Amino acid sequence: MTKVPMARPSSRRAFLKGGLAGAAAVAASAGAARAGGETVITEVQDWARYPGDGVDARPYGRPSPFEAHVVRKNVPWLTSDTISSVNFTPLHELDGIITPNGLCFERHHAGIAELDPAAYRLMVHGLVEKPLVFTLADLKRFPRENRIYFLECAANSGMEWRGAQLNGCQFTHGMVHCVMYTGVRLRHILEEAGVRPDGKWLLAEGADASAMTRSIPMEKALDDCMVAFAMNGEALRPEQGYPARLVVPGWEGNMWVKWLRRLEVGDQPWHHREETSKYTDLLASGKARRFTWVMDVKSVITSPSPQAPIRHGKGRMVLTGLAWSGNGRIERVDVSLDGGRNWKTARIDGPSLPMALHRFYYEFDWDGSDLYLQSRAIDEKGLVQPTKDQLRAARGPNSIYHNNGIQTWHVDKEGVVENVEIS
Amino acid sequence: MTKVPMARPSSRRAFLKGGLAGAAAVAASAGAARAGGETVITEVQDWARYPGDGVDARPYGRPSPFEAHVVRKNVPWLTSDTISSVNFTPLHELDGIITPNGLCFERHHAGIAELDPAAYRLMVHGLVEKPLVFTLADLKRFPRENRIYFLECAANSGMEWRGAQLNGCQFTHGMVHCVMYTGVRLRHILEEAGVRPDGKWLLAEGADASAMTRSIPMEKALDDCMVAFAMNGEALRPEQGYPARLVVPGWEGNMWVKWLRRLEVGDQPWHHREETSKYTDLLASGKARRFTWVMDVKSVITSPSPQAPIRHGKGRMVLTGLAWSGNGRIERVDVSLDGGRNWKTARIDGPSLPMALHRFYYEFDWDGSDLYLQSRAIDEKGLVQPTKDQLRAARGPNSIYHNNGIQTWHVDKEGVVENVEIS
């Protein structure tokens, strides 16, 4: 084995500290040349010769510089200002069912609020026996639970109501993430204040400058809702509502109020902006669907996809994607290679948890021909993911939210993938 | 509601960009003064008045500046150089069962290797029908799986063989983490090469400058071992072996070779350094235990603990901790408040997965008296976590590894917690 020098050559560490460009330069200088698309290794690589950073170098770790392309992305023309907008989880780059905290999509209306946890307060008032104000430390004295749940914005895939618009599952489906939440069952907090018999609805309000609000029926509030303070083991991220947010399992994302500051118990819904002007869908009849709380059964193939073309040519390959439902577990996912004429059952792998993302795989031999890839999920209640045409027929042309239609990707002979719609 | 100005006052954003000190200054200036240990809010906070960062500001997110104290920590005197050393997961700050990627403890012998995934190669050779070299893209064409597994260094809690040494569960138990791995069953890769009938052992070797190796019996290699390339959904972190590492579920951490570059099939174990000079325990008889592969049933209370004292005084409180076993699931965790005289069954919450961390809670009313906290885990095979004295009686005084003994924390009347041993 090559003897490892104890001294760390400063030039190499300087290379690496220079980031991706530096690392690529290291690879090139260390005898790795590209031939026919694949790197050819001609000598021992630097990482096998020289020591790297020690255990005091990264108190909080970060991804490899070679993963710098794996980021949240926003679409600048979607809104008039980035402080009231959304960005998208890079689904095409991820695997499994857990979304790492730094890549969870963001949706906020006054930018990221940076709360001081010592000054954080949660007020519970209205039709309760005793109004209360909790500190974060108070909340942590109630019994806790840990649950893996997906969170999907009701506007996810909303652009696609009008046809194949955005070229990538990050943009068509990326307003979804899935983490393990730790927090307190909302029921404990409401029982502490004592909900009066006429208390039938709950208003949740956030502490950021947009002070978002939603009305939640008391049955749901007392069921599985949580006040969460951790995601994937650590404190919530600021953009996900640090230090505490509401979790409303399986229901519309904007009900999961971030930077939760107030819970008011009432006897009717409040009909605030975010459940009247927004988050309703106008039907052809002139009436609007409202209080469409449950996120419907849905799936999408994340690879191959427009941002994840097939690069290895013909032969054995892995198709993968995600499926989820606000109704509980996913029972089955079918995959089609020919635009929905023939379906095969995909393999769901890993833990199957209610109202969490499910990961499916379909392994097959690609013969290099054109493909029209689709996935179709069926949840534990037997509900089947519809086509976009079926949705349009049922809802009319003016919907913005709740587009859970089947997604089609076209793969050409070079492995290039495109967002398409087919009848 | 206070009207939100559209302009972002530059002084506030400058405050926040100044980090924690700046944020504390914002809190102070925005009418929050400390009175008797608790922050008293006297006016509307800045985060409720002014917008924050937009959706283009954080392509890859990071924790709140108020969480800057939640970091991996190393113990400088443990080794002679930080490039061959360990740091520790801040268990006392975490909850649930998932360890966020940036806080997973590190253990390496030549610092963090920074591999270029394009130059990454995995060679399979030895007693196989056809030796093969795989690129990372090749590996991604095999069927994948997703599993949540703990990884524990066999030396975890090793200092504590000699008594209560380190004052904090981060240091006594922090060489453990738990993430969801995505990767390929090792069996697929070995079957591709074709293991010959006399191939009974596997040598795994890493690509970093220390080129660590371990011998693995073929039955385990063909069972549930994986070559993993993702952790919690994204690519492995450099310090965890990017772009690919071995996963050996439930077995000693150092077998999970990072920066995996070579798999050699042989008919005997290799008896390399990391399974002879290291990772063996000298018994009183003069013989040594070796090939002690399975990580034994173990638990620890993470809060209260020396780094997580009780700050809220008497009354309702939450005790929490972790339990795990290389034998499968945890069946039960008992908790004692009086040093092991009386035991109560704790509540295990969240998914119970084989060879993954389990999170337990015990809620009780603290009367302010001295406590001697202990937890004791029982796994699905009926194996019970022993006391440290039982371990010492069985193994003698010279053990370094496999200390799964019951941990005791003393809590005094002020809520201060200390690492102690009691008989």
Residues of chain A neighbouring B67 (CB-CB closer than 8 A) = 234-235, 242
Portion 168-207 of B in contact with A at CB < 8 A: 179-182, 207
Q: How far apart are CA B290 and CA A296, in angstroms?
A: 54
pLDDT value of position A220 = 98
Architecture of domain A101-162+176-289: Alpha-Beta Complex (3.90)
Asked if pLDDT for residue B4 goes beyond 80, the answer is no
Indicate if the alpha-carbon torsion angle A393, A397, A400, A403 is positive or negative.
positive
Helix (H) or strand (E) holding B25: helix B20-29
Chain B residues within an 8 Å CB radius of A64: 114-115, 235, 237-238, 242-243
* Position with higher pLDDT, B16 vs A191: A191
B19 part of contact set with chain A, CB < 8 Å? no
Q: Greater confidence, B25 or B239?
A: B239
DSSP code string of B214-269: EEEEHHHHTTT-EEEEEETTEEPPGGGTTT-EEE-TTB-GGGS-SSEEEEEEESS-
Q: Is the pLDDT of residue A357 over 50?
A: yes
Of B52, B102, B108, the CB nearest to A114: B52
Q: Which pLDDT score, from 0 to 100, does residue B35 have?
A: 44
pLDDT in tens, A68-94: 999 999 999 889 999 999 999 999 999
At A43, the pLDDT band (50, 70, 90 cuts) reads confident
pLDDT band with cut points at 50, 70 and 90 for residue B397? confident
Residue B323: name the closest of B386, B385, B232, B409 by CA. B385
Measured between CA atoms, the residue of chain B closest to residue A52 is B111
Residues A125-183 pLDDT 10s: 999 999 999 999 999 999 999 999 999 999 999 999 999 999 999 999 999 999 999 99
On whether the CB atoms of residues B111 and B123 are closer than 8 A, the answer is no
CA distance to partner chain B, nearest, from residue A292 (Å): 26
Q: Which residue out of B2, B55, B262 would a mutagenesis test of the A interface target, given it has the greatest number of A Cβ atoms within 10 Å? A: B55
Provide, as residue numbers in chain B, all residues whose Cβ is less than 8 Å from the Cβ of A210.
4
Question: What are the tokens at A136?
Answer: 């974060």
SS3 call for A304: coil
Could you tell me the pLDDT band of residue B414, with boundaries at 50, 70 and 90?
very high
What six digits make up the tokens of A122? 């949660």
Domain boundaries in chain A? Answer: 101-162+176-289, 295-422
Q: Is the CB of A396 inside 8 Å of chain B's CB atoms?
A: no
How many residue pairs from chains A and B have C-beta atoms closer than 8 A? 385
Cβ-count burial B2-11 (b if 16+ within 10 Å, e if not): eeeeeebeee
Backbone angles phi, psi at A91, to 5 degrees: -60, -35
Please tell me whether the peptide bond between B386 and the residue prior to it is cis, using omega within 30 degrees of 0.
no
Cα A234 from chain centroid (whole Å)? 17
pLDDT score of A15 more than 70: no
| Structure tokens that stand for A279 in this block | 């988050």
Q: Mean pLDDT throughout A182-205?
A: 98
Which residues in chain B have their CB less than 8 angstroms from residue A24's CB? Answer: 116
Query: Which residue of chain A has the CA closest to B86?
Result: A55
Residue B423, pLDDT score = 77
d(Cα A75, Cα A186) in Å, to the nearest integer?
35
A52, pLDDT greater than 60: yes
Q: Is the pLDDT of residue A28 over 50?
A: no
DSSP string, B58-119: -SS----GGGTT---EE-GGGSS-TTSEEEE--GGG--SSPPPGGGS--EESSSB----GGG
**Number of Cβ within a 10 Å radius of residue A272:** 15
CB contact under 8 A, A237 and B100: no
User: Residue B359 gets which letter from DSSP?
Assistant: E
pLDDT at A144: 98
Question: pLDDT tens for residues B222-246?
Answer: 999 999 999 999 999 999 999 999 9
Looking at residue B20, its pLDDT comes to: 37
Which residues, in sequence order, are CB contacts of A53 under 8 Å at separation 6+?
B83, B111, B112
pLDDT at B308 over 70: yes
| Domain covering A295-422: architecture | Sandwich (2.60)
CA angle, B102 then B324 then B385, to 5° = 140
How high is the pLDDT of residue B264? 98
Q: What percent of chain B has pLDDT above 90?
A: 81
Q: Is A144 on the interface with B (CB under 8 A)?
A: yes
pLDDT per position as a tens digit, B165-207: 999 999 999 999 999 999 999 999 999 999 999 999 999 999 9
Which pLDDT does position A37 carry in this prediction? 55
- Alpha carbon of B182: minimum distance to chain A alpha carbons (Å): 6
Residue A114 contacts residue B23 (beta carbons within 8 Å) = yes
What per-residue confidence (pLDDT) applies to B301?
98
Reported pTM: 0.92
- Beta partners for residue A266, in sequence order: A201
pLDDT given for residue A39 in this prediction: 74
- Which chain A residues contact residue B97 at CB under 8 A? 146, 180, 233
Q: What is the pLDDT of residue A201?
A: 98
C-alpha gyration radius of chain A:
24
Distance, CA of A203 to CA of A213 (rounded, Å): 7
